[in-house]
């Protein structure tokens, strides 16, 4: 498992593909609520240089409205460059 992650990380850097690292306790499995898999967006620290990393993950107001009653995500409203966004604080499930 460690070697697989190392190789995947090396390839991501080589190909300049952004990746998100999620860690959990040893032996634990972590999932992502199916409702969110294709909805979240990324706010980059520098949109012109994604290698500088992720500032936060967020939902648009429309997508937030779609999942707000499903109890699968906790968010906080932020205003970024005049755009209302729902910054993801917790993903449940």
DSSP string, 53-73: -EEEEEE-HHHHHHHTTTT-E
Which single residue is written with the structure tokens 């499995």? 29
Structural domains of the chain, with CATH? 2-91 (2.40.460.10)
User: Do residues 67 and 59 lie in contact, with contact meaning Cβ atoms separated by under 8 Å?
Assistant: yes
pTM value? 0.66
Q: What is the pLDDT of residues 8-67, one digit of tens each?
A: 888 988 888 877 776 655 555 556 677 787 899 999 999 999 888 899 999 999 999 999
Closest C-alpha among 25, 27, 26, 54 to residue 42: 54
């Amino acid at each position: 498992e460690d070697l697989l992650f190392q190789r995947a990380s090396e390839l991501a850097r080589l190909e300049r593909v952004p990746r998100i690292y999620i860690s959990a306790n040893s032996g634990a499995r972590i999932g992502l609520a199916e409702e969110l898999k294709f909805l979240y967006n990324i706010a980059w620290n520098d949109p012109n240089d994604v290698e500088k990393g992720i500032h936060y993950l967020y939902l648009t107001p429309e997508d937030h409205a779609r999942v707000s009653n499903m109890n699968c995500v906790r968010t906080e409203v932020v205003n970024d460059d005049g755009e209302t966004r729902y910054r993801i604080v917790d993903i449940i499930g």
